[in-house]
A and B are shown apart, each in its own frame.
Chain A
Amino acid sequence: MATHTGGLTHARLADEGPAVRIEGLVRSFGDREILAGLELDIAAGEFVALLGRSGSGKSTLLRALAGLDHEVAGSGHLSAPADVSVVFQDARLLPWKRVLDNVVLGLTGPGARDRGRAALDEVGLAGREDAWPADLSGGEQQRVSLARSLVREPRLLLADEPFGALDALTRIRMHALLRRLCEAHRPAVLLVTHDVDEAIALADRVVVLDEGRIAADVRVDLPAPRGQGTQRYAALRAGLLRQLGVDQDGGAPVRADDVVTPVGG
């Protein structure tokens, strides 16, 4: 339990029910209201992608969920599980710790190192336990940071543009890896991104944030594999881009049966 400034309650949820429940969340820096009464639920095991232009409040929301917004004025109700794990845009490995020590950072108890090894194996980095982070490529570093999150078996995984700094080929491989890992471990996921294709490729549900509110909430029910060539894919993509203020000629609106709860507008 942690009480924030401005009468915000930050409760820890029980094991049942949604993984995340956000009601009337307000966050402001100075006079600027970044989050303006935001409402959002994330079901257990659900993969939600959060899209938004820069400055739309994506990161503010993620930091609020991670409990990292010290000294930020705000109000509203926010419940998130205690076992939250964050994947940052930079892999954020401690340069003075070897790969395995980075993965098990903060873990205690017997078997922590074995679990760390298993997690590294899962992300395809078995055998690199004793490498220094500086000797890994950007993609490898981000995989270590994924292993560091997974080894904690989080109920909620927060990812802040985790693949933003990677090259296109590595990003595609990381997408497949993240899907596989999430299917194996079933955490609820909130993935912040500004890449519409990434959102559609990965998420069960895409939420568009605009001026501190949810502007669109779309369930992605494309059949796997989510080929970029299909008409439904193109329609979904164009609709989401329009919500983000990018109007493409000939783009169809988001189809009614794709939309779960259009809020605001």
Chain B
Amino acid sequence: MSAEATTLTKAATARPEPAAPRATRRRRLGPGRAIPYGRAIGPLLLLAVWSAGSAAGFIDARNLSAPWTVVSTAGDLIAEGRLQSNLATSAERALLGLLFGTAAGVLLAIAAGLSRIGEGVIDGPVQIKRAIPSLALIPLLILWFGIGESMKVITIALGVFVPVYIHTHNGLRTIDGRYAELAETVGLSRTGFVRHVVLPGALPGFLLGMRFAVTAAWLSLVVVEQVNATSGIGYMMELARTYGQTDIIIVGLVVYGLLGLVSDALVRLVERKTLSWRRTLAG
């Protein structure tokens, strides 16, 4: 060790201040690491406030039944088999509507996204339809299709197809044009282009549309079941209103909420599995 180095070391130890300036830690701008089960925090907090309010007597049971009353009512409804049969009817309507609406939305989006004629013919009417809430069409749909199942499924499908169309079409249109060039240079056919470039490229948009679509399906379901139905969760709630059974209404609401949450989680799961190639803030 040289003499100079020794002096330097001495000088450093002599001073009490930090010898070397610490590297400045930058503030992280991304959201950071995911909290395990982080999505459950909000709903659990809500449940806690509700329970506390009911137990302390702040919430009148005639306005909002206590969580435990709702649970026991749900137990009774399940024991009687009413909840299951109504849920099955509701789920069937929602699924059928979702199926038809999604199929229509995707097919129209592809037709409008891949050809100028398709865009000219399809895009305008869809934008007009978008401006009219599906639920406002119910009177007309009842006149056309009666009050049976087909009217309900069609109403749901109409609510579903718009977000699927809008987001899939947007996804298609924002695919980088350079990928089309690449497809030409590697000699992809039209179908190969759709399969390898268009569909996977539009998938993020489609899945976003699906998340809106799932919500739209449940929303439309609630309305059609309360308008004119003799079965389903909405009918069960409407009947409970007549007899002032708040707890049954809450059971219905909780079921709707759970259905919405579960279906959204399903779409998110599919999103995570199929879009694992993306490197985004979501991680």
Contact = CB atoms under 8 A, between A and B. Distances in A.
Interface of A: 66-68, 84-86, 88, 90, 92, 94-97, 105-106, 132-135, 148, 152
Interface string B253-283: 0000000000000000000000111110000
Given A106-B186, A152-B186, A96 B203 contact: yes
Interface string B167-201: 00000000000110111111110001000110011
A132 B276 CA distance: 9
Contacts of A68: 181, 184-185
Nearest to B204: A96
Interface of B: 178-179, 181-188, 192, 196-197, 200-201, 203, 275-279
Contacts of A96: 200-201, 203, 275, 277
Contacts of A135: 279
Nearest to A145: B182
Given A68-B181, A132-B276, 8 more contacts: A67-B184, A67-B185, A92-B179, A94-B179, A97-B277, A106-B196, A133-B277, A134-B277
Nearest to B274: A96
Given A96-B201, A97-B196, A97-B200, A106 B178 contact: no
Contact of A85 (B185, B192, B278): B185
Nearest to A152: B186
What are the 10 tightest A-B residue pairs by CB atom distance, in nearest-first order? A106-B186, A96-B200, A86-B185, A134-B279, A132-B277, A106-B188, A96-B277, A92-B182, A106-B187, A105-B186
Nearest to A158: B185
Given A88-B178, A95-B278, A106-B192, A148 B200 contact: no
A44 to B, nearest CB: 20
B177 to A, nearest CB: 11
Contact of A90 (B178, B183, B196): B178
A84 B277 contact: no
A26 to B, nearest CB: 22
Most chain B C-beta atoms within 10 Å of own C-beta, residue among A66, A88, A94, A152: A94
Contacts of A92: 178-179, 181-182
15 contacts: A66-B185, A67-B185, A68-B185, A86-B185, A92-B178, A94-B197, A95-B277, A96-B201, A97-B196, A105-B188, A105-B196, A106-B187, A106-B196, A134-B278, A134-B279
A166 B182 CA distance: 20
Contacts of A66: 185
A68 B187 CA distance: 12
A142 to B, nearest CB: 14
